[in-house]
Structure 1
Amino acid sequence: TIACQVHGAVSSLSDEFNVSRKAVYSAKYAAQSALKCLVTTNDESDVITSVNVDVPHLRRSIVALSITAPNSIRAIEEQIPLIYPGCKVSYGYIQGVIVEAQEQAKLFNEKVSLSAIKSVAIDEMFSQGDPVLAGIDLESGYLFSLSHEQKRDGETWARVLGEAKSQGLSPQHVVKDGAKGIAKGVSMSFEHAEQRDDAFHALYIVGKALRKVERRAYYYIDKEASLEKRLHKDVFDTEKKQQAMVDLLGVQAKCEQAIEQYESGTKSRNHLHQALTSISMKTGSLMTKKQAEALLTKAVDGLKNTEHKDGITAARYIKNRLKGLTLATQALHEKLLKLGELYPQECVEVACRFSERKRQLRKAKPWKIARYQKELVGSYQWLRLRLGKSASELMLQVEALHQTRHRASSAIEGFNATLRSYLYVRKGVNQGFLELFKAWYNLRSRRWGKHKGTSSYQNITGKKVDDW
């Protein structure tokens, strides 16, 4: 058990003793720990390191506890003696330290230049009924706006965005959801910015509607099965049998209709996914704005055919945003055509197909994985035969274009999810806390993603900060 160096040793032990692989690994680590205790002596002190806790160190810890995790002041008051035995601080002292840090954070946030930001996503969330307006850079992840307001109308958004504008913000693209206040605020602040409707919300709303249409279909399927069972049960009662037959015929008709309506909705979702890609998987040609709008129109018609109120609402949502949902596709199509001036057009199309399939492979159904993998290998081999070493360069350029097409507000939605836990613990929000949270969020070093090991502040200013 301890060795398990030969390939397949863990699986063999798992089969032999009829236990899980996890149990074998646990036994291995337990045995290793026991042997280590027997054969080694540990005369070292239990003390890892020693530090002198002065007032600046204590204040630093208080600020860190308040913002790196959703801790209340009472929780920090209880944690300080655990971290530094013999050290106690009052509620008021902790509150004073945090307020001072919030004021310093506000001054820091106002000095950052936002001129390097070109593509942004903006959104709003609520805390105890009050809106919190936020905006994030889609390239660097820099949080340029975070404001606690009483309203979320166009004038309020214009004022919040105007503050960012005074720091040099001048975006080329703004990704947003369907809120009218956001659209009005963006138009008032950045009249030349392209307003793109968020693909994430479109997919979410359609998916939510389809789940309800599906449940309706399953309801009638279950009802049909129950009536058939009742029909067989009451076979000797003529009157009940006739009534069951009438009920069954009616439910069968509704069941067939519900299934057809769900299939119509499923096709609509597929049309929506196709409209958001850069290439037509059927023809192999680059997706144009006109083709994307045609697919979205088909999606709208299919959702209407579901005859469900949520499906009709989703259809109306997409119909009202046909232009906004295709702006990212149009911009990417223009860039890919320019890339076609450097490489053969068919090579650009195959590289796009490779990039899209690679994304689809991450969420592919098990029975589709082998087909997708085979297609990816074939596409890469074809590009290598046509372009040689230049194939890798083309694929990198196409991938970079896909990563910067900015069609969804996932970045701001992810930030909202992070902030929401803090707001829940605090049972409310104030601008001071948001200023400190904003500074920490932008200065902290990220642990994963394409910007791993860097801060968003570093990405837009070029200045590295080792300690936020």
Structure 2
Amino acid sequence: MSGRKGGYLAWALAGTATISDLAAQHGVSRKFVYQQADKASVALDDVFASAAPDEVLFARPVTRTWLRQLTLGLTMICYSSWRGVVELMRDMLGVAISEGTVHNVHQAAARQAGAINRGQDLSTIRVGLHDEIFQGSQPVLAGVDARSTYCYLLATAEHRDADTWGILLDASQQGLNPDYTIADAGQGLRAGQKAAWGDKPCHGDVFHIQHQCEGLANTLAGIAKGVRSRRKKLQTKTGKAYQAPDLGDRIALALRAEAGAHALAGDIRTLTAWLAHDVLALAGPNLEIPG
């Protein structure tokens, strides 16, 4: 099996890439990728099925470098906790390490990754996407290339003000000078960009608009549901011996309130869908391009 074919078959079997993407990247059909992946899966099954339970399938030297790689792989690929890494090393490999050692391995890897990241040329990024995410309660400043989705900024910070977003100045020293950026209306974020690039355009994102509209639609739907419950509760009181004299009027009012609440919730839900799919959605192909 060639390295090229083995590479995309590994991705297909692992499910780390879609069949469509693999076919497009390697210039083959989706059917071909499926066929090759099926053959590889059968071959792997045959290898493991034919081997005796205690037969050695392969061997490799275990070095300190490999143990560090395993430590990083367990946490970053398998999402293991540090304590889980300690237990696996002890129970499966007979290697005694501490959680402090796991921490030190990650810190060393972070320093090495930071040096590599600071050496990247960011001059080809034309559109930057900036936002603030959180690790617990700690802000993390993030920047992504809109075209490639390459993450060129991911930095923890104590605050989200203009000073901390001044980190964009550091990125500009690596050549980051996009035509424009897209971000929310955060004052610190926009002030930091202004300090880095002056009056460079920063367009508003659509996520927060859609999120707020969807929140409004959900709130109105909840109100309509509550109005319906109150109307049903009133109707259960009809025909009872001690029925209130104004019960009929109250039920009529509840029916009108219910109709209005459901109509409003439905209208806002429709407008929200139009906004998401017809107004703010990405533009499709030109009319002259067949679908």
SS of residue paired to 1:261: helix
Aligned-pair CA distance for 1:151: 0.9
Structure 2: how far apart are the matches of 1:42 and 1:182? 58
- After superposition, the Cα gap between the structure-2 partners of 1:261 and 1:91, relative to the gap in structure 1 and judged at 3 Å, is closer
Structure 1 position 248 matched with structure 2 position 186: no
- After superposition, the Cα gap between the structure-2 partners of 1:108 and 1:229, relative to the gap in structure 1 and judged at 3 Å, is same
1:265 aligns with one of 245, 258, 268: 268
Aligned-pair CA distance for 1:41: 7.4
Structure 1: how far apart are the matches of 2:57 and 2:100? 32
**Structure 1-normalised TM-score?**
0.47
Per the alignment, residue 29 of structure 2 pairs with none
8 Å CA contact 1:66, 1:98 repeated in 2: no
Aligned-pair CA distance for 1:70: 3.2
- After superposition, the Cα gap between the structure-2 partners of 1:178 and 1:45, relative to the gap in structure 1 and judged at 3 Å, is same
Structure 2: how far apart are the matches of 1:196 and 1:57? 46
- Percent identity for Structure 1 against Structure 2: 21
1:46 aligns with one of 48, 55, 61: 55
In structure 1, runs of 5+ residues without a counterpart are 1-35, 279-328, 337-347, 352-379, 381-394, 396-468
Deviations 1:384-427 (A, max 9, x none): xxxxxxxxxxx6xxxxxxxxxxxxxxxxxxxxxxxxxxxxxxxx
2:58 counterpart letter in structure 1: T
Q: How does 1:140-179 map to 2 (within 5 A)?
A: 140-157=148-165, 159-179=166-186
Greater helix fraction, Structure 1 or Structure 2: 1
Structure 1 position 205 matched with structure 2 position 233: no
Aligned-pair CA distance for 1:130: 2.1
1:121 counterpart letter in structure 2: L
Q: How does 1:305-454 map to 2 (within 5 A)?
A: 348-349=286-287, 351=289, 380=290
2:142 aligns with one of 134, 139, 158: 134
Q: How does 1:183-194 map to 2 (within 5 A)?
A: 183-194=190-201
2:89 aligns with one of 70, 80, 102: 80
Aligned-pair CA distance for 1:63: 2.9
2:280 aligns with one of 264, 276, 282: 276
Structure 1: how far apart are the matches of 2:259 and 2:125? 53
Q: How does 1:61-140 map to 2 (within 5 A)?
A: 61-84=70-93, 86-140=94-148
- After superposition, the Cα gap between the structure-2 partners of 1:63 and 1:260, relative to the gap in structure 1 and judged at 3 Å, is closer
Per the alignment, residue 188 of structure 2 pairs with 181
Per the alignment, residue 65 of structure 2 pairs with 56
Aligned-pair CA distance for 1:271: 4.1
Structure 2: how far apart are the matches of 1:42 and 1:164? 53
1:214 aligns with one of 209, 215, 221: 221
8 Å CA contact 1:81, 1:88 repeated in 2: yes
Aligned-pair CA distance for 1:45: 5.7
Greater shift after overlay, 69-78 or 127-136? 69-78
Q: Higher relative contact order at CA 8 Å, sep ≥6: structure 1 or structure 2?
A: 1
8 Å CA contact 2:214, 2:269 repeated in 1: no
Give the length in aligned residue pairs: 244
2:224 counterpart letter in structure 1: A
Aligned-pair CA distance for 1:113: 0.8
**What RMSD in Å do the two structures reach over aligned CA positions?**
2.9
Structure 1: how far apart are the matches of 2:171 and 2:163? 15
1:242 counterpart letter in structure 2: P
1:48 counterpart letter in structure 2: L
**Structure 2-normalised TM-score?**
0.73
Deviations 1:115-156 (A, max 9, x none): 111112111122342211111112112111111111101232
